[in-house]
Structure 1
Amino acid sequence: MLTFPNAKINIGLHITEKRADGFHNLESCFYPVGWSDALEIFPAEKLSFKSSGIEIPGNPETNLCLKAYHLVKQDFDIAPVMIHLHKAVPIGAGMGGGSADCAFTIKTLNELFALHLTTEVMENYARQLGSDCAFFIQNRPQYCFGKGDEFAEISLDLSGKFIVLVNPNIHISTAEAYSGVKPTKTGIDLREVLQKPINEWTGIVKNDFENHLLPKYPAIQAIKDQLYQNGAAYASMTGSGSTVFGIFDQAIDLKEHFAEYSLWQGKM
């Protein structure tokens, strides 16, 4: 069974407080985008995992896709599988690529073995694998809060818009990103603000990580500036970086402007 785990962007990302468990509470709108990996899973005589495309650091035996399989295997007597992940979404880029891979593994196992898992059960599996993994079970625009694994409805439909995502091949670890954050309450309701026209978001809908990461990495600031110069209605860094996205009213081709970087562009 072949699926295509897609990335997401954060439209607004506010770190509101540090939790007693060491994590941070946040609020954001998670929005799925088309930049995707390819994930193939089928029954096999022996459990195995292989990858292609972008090199995945670390021990393959601890890959999130395998962790997802073992999590489901604890509760269901499912057969061994062969998992092949072709990695195209940049790693450590603020787009949740690895989180999508493990969530899609859970959904694929559910379908492959007819487990009849509810959305809630699959989200609970995903929450055990990472803070934003559960989002990719429903994989639709959501207002996210808590650690990024609690969801509420949001009325935001950007279909018809065009998006350009640019990754400057800078890896920013979660620890580095959070080390410069000062949690604060925003005093605004993100869901209300996102009902305004997109060209009114600038200066209001912010990613808190930009405050310290853009001065540290001028290339990220330069990408954001260039997206605006080319007509973006709104541009921002997503997640904890380093990918920057621009939302446009019409299709635009910016490949030549960012030839040295990883880029994806398409309809939202």
Structure 2
Amino acid sequence: MERRNGGGGGFCSFPLLFAVAASFVVAVLARVLYVLYHTGRPLRSKKGVRPLRTLIILGSGGHTAEMLNLLAVLDKDKFNPRFYISAITDSMSLQKAEVYEESIAPQNTGTGDEMNPAHFMKIYRSREVGQSYITSVGTTIVAIIHALWLTFKIRPQVVICNGPGTCIPLCVCSFLLKVVGIRWSSIFYVESIARVKKLSLSGFLLYHLRMADQLFVQWPYLKTKHPRALYVGRLM
């Protein structure tokens, strides 16, 4: 009789475990839906206007040039400190960002991290140009782990990116930080001026997964195809 009771207890524990697991899944889904619902909506801060920790994701070549042009009109005191990240194989973008920060050094009058408003970091790429999709599975996993560590370390309140594949792991991890309640951030994606009729893969993913709080396009045709995007005209 004791063995049957023990077996029955084990059997009865399965519905309990299932209920706990189901409750956890429902809670996670509810939290994700909550974050998606509030993504893109203005947030009211009870602490007043304070500098925002800003993550700036650099591509290479034209992406970096476009990003630096965009940053030229950025309120440096409001978006401070600034964390620049580029792919580990990109040897030029961070150098250009450092030169840019040196050129505006006299303008750095903000509070908080005012003595060191700019930080420069590198990240592993998910996929290099020409790399096979099979081998990119492993590099993508490494990139996501690295991106998770970087975003947890930076805990950005604002993420600005404009197209490089490097931005996807960082945006996904920033979104996850919102889901788990560690840091709420706003993701702003500016599609490259070279994209006239079709979004880049990064833009396509961030738009359809609804991770970007605002997605800007520079050509009216893209706005007609993607109604939630914001048409801002040519930025260069």
Instruction: Flag the structure with larger Rg.
Output: 2
TM over 0.5: no
Q: Which has the higher helix share?
A: 2
Q: What's the TM-score bracket when you normalise by the shorter of the two chains?
A: under 0.3
Q: TM-score, normalised by structure 2?
A: 0.24
Q: Which has the higher strand share?
A: 1
Q: TM-score, normalised by structure 1?
A: 0.22
